[in-house]
Amino acid sequence: MIDTSLQGVRCRATQEIRSHQGSVRRSTEGTVEYEIENLDRHLIRVHWDNGLITYVFFSEIEIIGGDCLWQ
């Protein structure tokens, strides 16, 4: 199931994130595209300011300048 309710929300990496496309350094900012559940995992697709697009866990990002009620 894809949830686009957080589409456009700005976020920041709380740790280095590695993917097959490359690495996202800690504190890199990006924009949430959507949330998805896959194999009982809750993932967020983020388009990072450095051009990469990755799926991350909630624990790997923080919301910038706004309140978010992720549970």
Looking up residue 26, the CATH number of its domain turns out to be 2.30.30
59 within some domain: yes
pLDDT value of position 51:
95
Bridge partners (DSSP) of residue 2 are 36
For 20, 50, 56, 59, 71, the CA distances from 68, given in Å and listed in that order, are: 29, 24, 16, 13, 9
50 within some domain: yes
How many independent structural domains does the chain possess? 1
Predicted confidence (pLDDT) at residue 22 exceeds the cutoff of 50:
yes
Q: Which has the higher per-residue pLDDT, 1 or 61?
A: 61
Q: What's the whole-number average pLDDT of the chain?
A: 90
CB atoms within 10 A of CB 44: 22
71 within some domain: no
* pLDDT band, residue 67 (cuts 50/70/90): low
Contact 13, 30 (CB under 8 A): yes
Domain that holds residue 34: 2-63
